[in-house]
Chain A
């Protein structure tokens, strides 16, 4: 039986671990030069920073995952630095790109652990040099040991905002401000009395306390207004309105921003897995059962690509998806392990729901974006141009959903294929059309998952 696992983050590592335990030798592909995923991303070879410095309170988990990763590599057909750019249903094939060469790998069953990326709400100035996502800011620190600027403002909402701020402070970077768009009361309401995961809660409170103690400007319930600067020198300041409605600004030379994360389900989408809007997560999430089985036979999902749960959930879900695959293949399974993990996953789901209520995606902020804001940075489409596509008087009539708006305006048609702006674009369009964002639809998945150079096409006709 040919089994493939895409991704070597927390979910992928634990999935492969179970498959190898069952005597299988999976094809194991990761886009990065090494495994660990974004959360436990390793520095390049030759970098010598300690795990404690890189991963903070998560260092023991990172070390354990890296140990498992390294132990499993020889037991699998390990192919790092390899992009899966398409997945075929009939025949079942993963289409890969590695060092400029394409290849096709047949499989009978695959576990897709393709992770997540930051949710972004564009604001005026967000395309200036020096602006990155919170996830990008964190990776700069973890992988390269550098900060995104000399004086960094962090903006957004969610646990990652506080974690990145803390990590930057610990690493000795100057954090100019931490600006949370969620009011304190919203967070307090959602989290109070829901201590399903007291450790996570405690960590969050610890980060905030440490930042305040260090004298860093911390504000909640803010409304971001603009990032100031110019194309030559990049970011010079950040402007916002505080919770009392006063306009504020501060000097900075870099901004990290993000509002939680969303699944990267492109491969699941291309494999034909239905994708549904999850109102709690406020994300489009591929359909799967508690074990990670999808309605498409032979396709399993785990980790944040299957719905945001974070790294601990991803590890458990990876093991479960592997167990589901083994059960469906009538191979020996570990029922005790599955039962234990499923109970823990259920508890985590309740905590996750509380977390989503505590740090809601700022849909109204996105919908209220000024007309002149560049919404799609690949194609330089403004929010105003997208709103015009919703007008019946326009030259092509009104676009009733997001793919038609894409056709009219080119929004989401660039190199990133709407990964960055797609969510905010849907909010802008939904608000203008006066309907729910779930009804606006999502940008449909189209191969290649990431850009594919023409030179990668083999010289000769591939054997059919």
Chain B
């Protein structure tokens, strides 16, 4: 084994959050090493739907989402590419009265966080978006939201981080990590890394990293079922979702429509994931119900990826409860893509300054741990 590599900060997991953290840390001049088992952005960060939205988020996520929004808008200036981020607006639809009531109730949550939303009844909805079918009875429009290409974000952040001086090692799986003599020691098959700070941005596998430090949490793997159609003339401008979230779709200006809904199957040990035919068909049916013109369009490809799902569907973000210098950001429960930019900035502040202005209390890992610090659940595959 070669001599250990020393750094100021070690990062486990090269998704959007980890790559963004590496970039922010490198900007501040820290010696940072990121370890990624596959290629950066291979799982949830690269395989997700590409929604960049604040609307509909849990209030605990909104301050992070707002901070991320500012970074998304500055991407070309920060990393030299926009990753196809477009601010098309996000339209969340209700298909019955109960769902409409849900949209109405969220207006207050949004207002209290300074998020501007526009409520549209059935008439207004169809006037503004004539491609909608009769299934939608009301909608809530968030003009600042939009979408981006998830396959580009992590690699672009990684390239910028490397350029700024960070070391990102791909195809480098972590086999063990521990805290000894005030330092983190992280092992891979061939090398040992040491640093005073450790960031856990390992997605679903973040549960394993937390467990290494006595913080096992009840995380499940989550495999969104995604597909894309052949290109058709560009008409569906906003990113479209529904209350309840069982189908979502967006069209990119070149014409393809990306559709998601339901869950495929996966095995995080391999790791592998794939869509399921029946789930694909269900999402196709629901998409065509929202936008009837899609009925004649063909799906050409489907995919999935592995994310970590927490029982309360919000991530674990913040300091470890057992180990000083360890900071978690994992279990984004299917909606971490938009957050990832700000998560990197926040982790950088936590690692270098020990504090951040962004409120994280509700996202603390402590919520899953019994009062004495005894884990309340195990890691579930």
Interface residues of chain A, those whose CB is within 8 Å of chain B, are: 85-86, 88, 90, 93, 95, 102, 104, 270, 392, 394-397, 400-401, 404, 407-408, 413-415, 417, 446-448, 451-459, 461-462, 464
B288 touches A454 (CB 8 A): yes
A415 touches B230 (CB 8 A): yes
Q: Bound state CA distance, A93 and B276, in angstroms? A: 11
A462 touches B278 (CB 8 A): yes
Minimum CB–CB distance from B304 to chain A (whole Å) comes to 10
Chain B 270-298, CB-CB to A under 8 Å as 1, else 0, gives 00001111101110110110000011111
- Report chain B residues within 8 Å CB of A457: 281-282, 284-285, 288
Minimum CB–CB distance from A329 to chain B (whole Å) comes to 25
- Report chain A residues within 8 Å CB of B303: 446
Interface centre among A400, A413, A446, A459 (most CB of B within 10 A): A446
Q: Bound state CA distance, A451 and B296, in angstroms? A: 11
B284 touches A396 (CB 8 A): no
B299 touches A454 (CB 8 A): yes
Chain B 99-112, CB-CB to A under 8 Å as 1, else 0, gives 00000000000000
- Report chain B residues within 8 Å CB of A90: 265
Contact of B298 among A104, A270, A447, A451 (CB under 8 A): A451
Given A395-B80, A457-B282, A408:B295 Cβ within 8 A: no
Q: Bound state CA distance, A401 and B170, in angstroms? A: 13
Q: Bound state CA distance, A95 and B299, in angstroms? A: 14
Minimum CB–CB distance from A442 to chain B (whole Å) comes to 15
The 3 closest A-B pairs by CB, nearest first: A451-B298, A407-B151, A397-B159
Chain B 194-232, CB-CB to A under 8 Å as 1, else 0, gives 000000000000000000000000000000000011100
Contact of A446 among B156, B158, B302 (CB under 8 A): B302
Contact of B300 among A400, A451, A461, A464 (CB under 8 A): A451
Contact of A397 among B158, B274, B280 (CB under 8 A): B158
Contact of A453 among B81, B156, B170, B298 (CB under 8 A): B298
A396 touches B229 (CB 8 A): no
- Report chain B residues within 8 Å CB of A93: 277
Interface centre among A270, A452, A457 (most CB of B within 10 A): A457
Q: Bound state CA distance, A56 and B35, in angstroms? A: 61
Q: Is the CB of B7 closer than 8 A to any CB of chain A? A: no
A408 touches B155 (CB 8 A): yes
- Interface Cβ pair total, 8 Å cutoff: 105
Q: Is the interface of A mostly helix, strand, loop or mixed?
A: loop
Minimum CB–CB distance from B265 to chain A (whole Å) comes to 8
Chain B 288-332, CB-CB to A under 8 Å as 1, else 0, gives 100000111111111100000000000000000000000000000
- Report chain B residues within 8 Å CB of A458: 281, 285
Interface residues of chain B, those whose CB is within 8 Å of chain A, are: 39, 46, 79-81, 151-152, 155-156, 158-159, 162, 170, 228-230, 265, 274-278, 280-282, 284-285, 287-288, 294-303
B302 touches A447 (CB 8 A): yes
Given A407-B152, A408-B152, A458-B285, A395:B277 Cβ within 8 A: no
B152 touches A452 (CB 8 A): no
B287 touches A395 (CB 8 A): no
Given A404-B39, A453-B296, A454-B288, A447:B275 Cβ within 8 A: yes
Q: Bound state CA distance, A95 and B278, in angstroms? A: 9
Given A414-B300, A448-B299, A104:B39 Cβ within 8 A: no
Given A93-B277, A408-B152, A453:B39 Cβ within 8 A: no
Q: Bound state CA distance, A454 and B229, in angstroms? A: 9
- Report chain B residues within 8 Å CB of A88: 276-277
Minimum CB–CB distance from B161 to chain A (whole Å) comes to 10
Contact of B296 among A392, A404, A455 (CB under 8 A): A455
Complex A-B: 9 CB contacts under 8 Å: A395-B80, A395-B152, A404-B155, A415-B230, A417-B301, A448-B302, A451-B298, A457-B288, A462-B282
- Report chain A residues within 8 Å CB of B294: 454
- Report chain A residues within 8 Å CB of B285: 454, 457-459
- Report chain B residues within 8 Å CB of A414: 230, 300
- Report chain B residues within 8 Å CB of A401: 39
Closest to A464 in B: B278
Q: Bound state CA distance, A464 and B262, in angstroms? A: 14
Q: Bound state CA distance, A447 and B230, in angstroms? A: 14
Q: Bound state CA distance, A401 and B38, in angstroms? A: 12
Q: Bound state CA distance, A459 and B275, in angstroms? A: 20
Q: Bound state CA distance, A286 and B168, in angstroms? A: 34
Closest to B265 in A: A90
Q: Bound state CA distance, A392 and B168, in angstroms? A: 14
Q: Bound state CA distance, A461 and B294, in angstroms? A: 19
Knowing that A408-B151, A457-B281, A461-B282 touch, tell me 15 more A-B residue pairs with CB under 8 angstroms. Answer: A394-B159, A395-B159, A400-B39, A407-B151, A414-B300, A415-B230, A415-B300, A417-B301, A448-B300, A448-B301, A448-B302, A451-B299, A454-B229, A455-B288, A462-B282
Given A395-B80, A454-B229, A102:B281 Cβ within 8 A: yes
- Report chain B residues within 8 Å CB of A396: 81, 152, 155-156, 159
- Report chain A residues within 8 Å CB of B280: 86, 447
B162 touches A397 (CB 8 A): yes
- Report chain B residues within 8 Å CB of A86: 277, 280
Q: Bound state CA distance, A454 and B265, in angstroms? A: 21
Q: Bound state CA distance, A413 and B258, in angstroms? A: 13
A454 touches B298 (CB 8 A): yes
- Report chain A residues within 8 Å CB of B228: 413
Q: Bound state CA distance, A407 and B287, in angstroms? A: 24
Q: Bound state CA distance, A454 and B284, in angstroms? A: 5
B301 touches A413 (CB 8 A): yes
Minimum CB–CB distance from B111 to chain A (whole Å) comes to 37
Q: Bound state CA distance, A392 and B163, in angstroms? A: 10
Interface centre among B46, B79, B288, B299 (most CB of A within 10 A): B299
- Report chain A residues within 8 Å CB of B288: 454-455, 457
Minimum CB–CB distance from B305 to chain A (whole Å) comes to 12
- Report chain A residues within 8 Å CB of B275: 447
Closest to A413 in B: B301
Minimum CB–CB distance from A275 to chain B (whole Å) comes to 14
Minimum CB–CB distance from B180 to chain A (whole Å) comes to 34
Minimum CB–CB distance from A420 to chain B (whole Å) comes to 14
Q: Bound state CA distance, A452 and B229, in angstroms? A: 9
- Report chain B residues within 8 Å CB of A456: 281, 284
Q: Bound state CA distance, A443 and B161, in angstroms? A: 28
Q: Bound state CA distance, A102 and B277, in angstroms? A: 10
Q: Bound state CA distance, A444 and B123, in angstroms? A: 44
B300 touches A417 (CB 8 A): yes
Q: Bound state CA distance, A461 and B282, in angstroms? A: 7
Minimum CB–CB distance from A444 to chain B (whole Å) comes to 9
- Report chain A residues within 8 Å CB of B282: 457, 461-462
Minimum CB–CB distance from A187 to chain B (whole Å) comes to 39
Minimum CB–CB distance from A380 to chain B (whole Å) comes to 10
Q: Bound state CA distance, A401 and B171, in angstroms? A: 12
Q: Bound state CA distance, A93 and B274, in angstroms? A: 15
Q: Bound state CA distance, A90 and B284, in angstroms? A: 21
- Report chain B residues within 8 Å CB of A461: 282
Minimum CB–CB distance from A285 to chain B (whole Å) comes to 20
Closest to B293 in A: A454
